[in-house]
Amino acid sequence: MEEKNFISKAIDEESGSNVSALDTNKTLMIDQYTSDAQGEDPELFEDAKTLDDVFQHFKPNVEVDFTDEDGGSISETLYFNSIKDFEANGGKGNLVANSEFLSDKKASMDSYAKVRKQIEQNKKLREILKDAGSKEELKDYLEYLLNELS
């Protein structure tokens, strides 16, 4: 007999059938995605016909504390309006796009990656960086430019 991954082995009282098997290529995440305590008796919502109905009814959100580069704490509320809002997808998913903090971090990482790529492709700059004296002169000049911009 083939073993199946069941969400529950309980019998559905109304239909008399088992709960549907969970596909082996799927992950079921069960957690509290709101900061609100539900108490002992969670709300029963029977009017849902689609997953969108559930998201619109419960409006899940959670307050998250991020730590910035300086060690400070930044609070942000993440809102979930669909399953796609949980996807990070290497920084390209809705989780990152819907978060101001994560979007800023992603933009910084993308900028650093572009600069690194340009340095790797620039032969003159690579030669300057190989020589310790030239490298120090470039560093001083860049610091001077940064001070001017500030």
**Entry field: residues in the chain:** 150
Regarding pTM above 0.85, the answer is: no
pLDDT tens, 6-21?
455 455 455 455 556 6
- To which residue do tokens 């600069």 refer? 115
Whether 43 shows a pLDDT value over 50: the answer reads yes
Q: At what angle do helices 132-149 and 123-130 cross, to 10 degrees?
A: 110
Q: Is 75 helix (H, G, I), strand (E, B) or coil?
A: strand
pLDDT tens, 117-128?
988 899 888 888
> 61: which residues sit within 8 A by CB, 6+ positions away?
33, 34, 35, 77, 78, 79, 80
What confidence score (pLDDT) does residue 78 get?
92
